[in-house]
């Protein structure tokens, strides 16, 4: 078998594999349904602030304790020792 034919067969195999991947991806994407987020009007709640030497974590909950929102200095993009600064805590 010549080199040219081998290269053509490889290209055909790669093309078929790519088509299979795309078909599978489309099939999976069709199955996945995004969950609708509902907005709740909460008038009262609690805010928990956990401040450690390395990070500051803030959690907002309703009166039953269900988490509505959360944030941390690390989640806000600060890394290393910058997470423990007061500025990072105010951004979180």
| Average of per-residue pLDDT values in the chain | 83
Predicted confidence band of residue 86 (pLDDT cuts 50, 70, 90): confident
**Per-residue pLDDT for 30 more than 80?**
no
**What kind of fold does domain 45-91 have according to CATH?**
Nucleotidyltransferase; domain 5 (3.30.420)
- All structural domains of the chain with their residue ranges: 1-33, 45-91
What are the Cα distances from residue 37, in Å, to 49, 64, 84? Answer: 25, 19, 32
Predicted confidence band of residue 75 (pLDDT cuts 50, 70, 90): confident
**Per-residue pLDDT for 39 more than 80?**
no
pTM of the model: 0.52
Question: Which phi and psi angles does 16 have, rounded to 5°?
Answer: -65, -40
Predicted confidence band of residue 61 (pLDDT cuts 50, 70, 90): very high
**Per-residue pLDDT for 29 more than 90?**
no
């Amino acid at each position: 078998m010549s080199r040219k034919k081998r290269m053509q067969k490889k290209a055909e195999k790669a093309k078929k594999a790519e088509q299979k991947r795309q078909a599978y991806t489309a099939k999976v994407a069709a199955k996945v349904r995004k969950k609708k987020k509902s907005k709740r009007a909460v008038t009262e709640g609690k805010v928990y602030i956990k401040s450690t030497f390395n990070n500051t974590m803030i959690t907002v909950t309703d009166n039953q304790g269900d988490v509505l929102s959360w944030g941390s200095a690390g989640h806000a993009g600060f890394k290393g020792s910058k997470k423990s600064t007061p500025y990072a805590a105010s951004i979180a």
